[in-house]
Amino acid sequence: MNKTYKIMTYGCQMNENDSEKISGMLKAMGYTKTEDEKTAGVVVFNTCSVRENADVRVFGNLGAFKSYKKTNPEMVLAVCGCMMQQPHIVEEIKTKNPQVDIVFGTHNIHRFPELLTKHLTSDERVFEIFEDDDGLVENLPVDRRYPFKSYVSIMKGCNNFCTYCIVPYTRGREVSRPHENIIAEIKALAADGCLEVTLLGQNVNSYGNDRQDDYHFADLLRDVNAIPGLQRVRFMTSHPKDFSDEVIDAIAECDKVCPAIHLAVQSGCTAVLKAMHRGYTKEHIIALVQKIRSRIPEAAITTDIIVGFPGETEADLEDTLDVVRACAFDAAFSFIYSKRTGTPAAVMENQIPDDVKHQRLNKLLACLHEIGADRNAVYQDRDVSVLVEGTSKHNPGRLTGRTKNGKLVNFDGNPESVGTIVTVHIDEAKTFSLDGRQV
Ligand code: SAH
Ligand code: SF4
Ligand code: F3S
């Protein structure tokens, strides 16, 4: 029997974290990892549905497996993740993608070993999707990608129902993990040599709101900060409506908590924000960012922005550009609004034509890049501390890593410093990264 596997992961850190668990379960079943999806015994697609092109990519890549399975008939093809929580997608897998053997969703990844065994013993296609959680499953084996840094999910799901977004439908309601379990997990990671953790949630600032113990995100940051051995604590994503003064104080006061804040604003126009159901205004964003910058001067603040939301006007886009300039974001992911079936915005009137969306994206990008370059320029000729994450494929003496506030640094250095924190002198500050040499 071919006991090798390959996992193809699409989407966000939640999916990467889930894939590490799927990998952990497969290893526990005696499987070993391979890089070649054509010859693997088990292939898992962990899918994302956040924008239409994510769906299109997955279906495109799945198509190739019709022929791979002809040359490798033993192969088991499993598909999971956010796409599978939508009935119309599962239907398409059922009817048009017979090469897929197993389908499961985001709420039952812990059931994968059982589903795999069921398929292997019956040779039937296995479909199992849960509509929502059947409780938190703790302590799944995790096959971590890096020994020195790790994702730690602190909550799952989302209750915000932003009108454009599919995530609340694919990930279910917000459930925070008990803080004792999170702390225990991070203590074990730190004892194992892990230097950096990234606390994950769709909206980390609302951590604990669904629990009765009056323990919130600021409390968690302080307790994680106290864990011996750990060097850096990151977290994402922050939602502007729930960013409390307690959290700002905790970031400012905790030496290990990185001043890297991914504050997804989505738009700078109050009317658009209202239609998006985001729960804050243009003025709130600007005041919040000013407060963060004055309390935490070294903070790098990054964001997500959507252009072309239904009904957005040129004047609305100007509001967004105002906010980008007033907040001086260090960097941003910007997206063209994509219609998601089943979300309120998909049936709103005044959908924006594609060419207009593209023009607006270009305008936004020009503005973001200018500001990003300015924000990086201050690092020119300075020494920064970098957690070294790896070497360049083409040149092992060329290393890459991140500063405490999240800046990407490429530099010449000792390959043996991968997995440690080193000092780098910055020779050239670029728009998207910093270039330098280890000192
Ligand atoms: N929970 C996070 C974001 C998760 S999705 C938050 O609220 O910030 C990641 C990003 O994808 C979002 O921030 C948003 O900018 C973008 N996004 C989500 N749905 C989208 C859609 N329908 N079209 C375009 N971009 C979208
Ligand atoms: Fe989507 Fe909004 Fe939830 Fe983020 S907060 S996952 S954008 S619904
Ligand atoms: Fe995509 Fe699901 Fe993440 S839709 S962005 S993988 S939560």
Please tell me the distance from the alpha carbon of residue 385 to that of residue 20, in angstroms, as a whole number: 28
- Which pLDDT does position 21 carry in this prediction? 96
Mean pLDDT of 271-279: 98
pLDDT exceeds 90 at position 393: no
Atom of ligand 2 nearest to the CA of 239: 5
Ligand 1 pocket by Cβ (under 6 Å): 50-51, 164-165, 167, 202-203, 237, 239, 264, 266, 304, 306, 335, 337-338, 340
Q: Cα of 93 to ligand 1 centre, how many Å? A: 25
User: CA distances (Å), 89 to each of 16, 94, 125, 238, in order?
Assistant: 21, 9, 16, 30
What ligand has the least distance to the C-alpha of 305?
A: 1
- Which pLDDT does position 178 carry in this prediction? 96
Are 278 and 270 in contact by the 8 Å Cβ rule? The answer is no
Mean pLDDT of 316-341: 98
pTM for this one?
0.95
Same structural domain, 191 and 108:
no
Is 373 part of a structural domain of the chain?
Answer: yes
Please tell me the distance from the alpha carbon of residue 268 to that of residue 48, in angstroms, as a whole number: 26
Atom of ligand 1 nearest to the CA of 203: 1
The confidence band for 405, taking pLDDT boundaries of 50, 70 and 90, is very high
Is 277 part of a structural domain of the chain?
Answer: yes
The confidence band for 165, taking pLDDT boundaries of 50, 70 and 90, is very high
Is 138 part of a structural domain of the chain?
Answer: no
Residue that the structure tokens 């991914």 belong to: 262
Is 342 part of a structural domain of the chain?
Answer: yes
Which CATH number covers residue 425? Answer: 2.40.50.140
Report residue 381 as tokens.
């000729």
Is 144 part of a structural domain of the chain?
Answer: no
Helix%, strand%, coil% for the chain, nearest 5 = 40, 25, 40
Q: Please name the residue whose Cα sits nearest to atom 4 of ligand 1.
A: 202
Atom of ligand 3 nearest to the CA of 54: 1
Same structural domain, 158 and 99:
no
Residue that the structure tokens 């994510």 belong to: 54
The DSSP result for 72-126, as a single string, is -TT-EEEEEEGGGGSHHHHHHHHHH-TT--EEE-SS-GGGHHHHHHHHHHH---E
Same structural domain, 102 and 186:
no
Atom of ligand 3 nearest to the CA of 47: 6
Which CATH number covers residue 57? Answer: 3.40.50.12160
Q: How many domains are there within the chain?
A: 3
CB neighbour list of residue 275: distance below 8 Å, 6 or more residues apart: 163, 309, 310, 311, 345, 348
Range of the domain at 78: 4-128
Q: Cα of 126 to ligand 2 centre, how many Å? A: 30
Which 3 state secondary structure label does DSSP give 276?
A: helix
Provide the terminal-to-terminal Cα distance of the chain, rounded to the nearest Å: 51
Q: Left (φ > 0), alpha (ψ -120 to 50) or beta: where does 146 sit? A: beta
Q: Cα of 335 to ligand 2 centre, how many Å? A: 14
If one residue of 16, 49, 335 were mutated to test the ligand 3 pocket, choosing by the most ligand atoms within 8 A of its CB, it would be 49
Give the residue from 62, 97, 128 where a domain finishes.
Answer: 128
Is 139 part of a structural domain of the chain?
Answer: no
Closest by Cα among 251, 247, 269, 379 to 322: 269
CB neighbour list of residue 175: distance below 8 Å, 6 or more residues apart: 133, 136, 155, 156, 157, 210
- Which pLDDT does position 392 carry in this prediction? 85
Each residue's pLDDT tens digit, 132-149:
876 777 888 889 889 999
- Which pLDDT does position 394 carry in this prediction? 84
Q: Please name the residue whose Cα sits nearest to atom 5 of ligand 2.
A: 160
Same structural domain, 214 and 336:
yes
Mean pLDDT score of the chain = 96
pLDDT exceeds 80 at position 42: yes
Same structural domain, 78 and 170:
no
Q: Are strands 32-33 and 4-9 parallel, antiparallel or unpaired?
A: parallel
Q: Cα of 371 to ligand 1 centre, how many Å? A: 22
Same structural domain, 66 and 200:
no
Q: What values do phi and psi take at 272, rounded to 5?
A: -65, -40
Is 188 part of a structural domain of the chain?
Answer: yes
Q: Are strands 175-176 and 408-412 parallel, antiparallel or unpaired?
A: unpaired
- Which pLDDT does position 17 carry in this prediction? 94
Ligand 2 pocket by Cβ (under 6 Å): 158, 160-162, 165, 167-168, 202-203, 239
User: CA distances (Å), 78 to each of 18, 37, 59, 354, 387, in order?
Assistant: 14, 12, 13, 34, 35
Same structural domain, 278 and 414:
no
Q: Left (φ > 0), alpha (ψ -120 to 50) or beta: where does 24 sit? A: alpha
Each residue's pLDDT tens digit, 182-195:
999 999 999 999 99
- Which pLDDT does position 133 carry in this prediction? 77
Please tell me the distance from the alpha carbon of residue 76 to that of residue 117, in angstroms, as a whole number: 11
If one residue of 106, 335, 338, 348 were mutated to test the ligand 1 pocket, choosing by the most ligand atoms within 8 A of its CB, it would be 335
Q: Please name the residue whose Cα sits nearest to atom 1 of ligand 2.
A: 165
The confidence band for 395, taking pLDDT boundaries of 50, 70 and 90, is confident
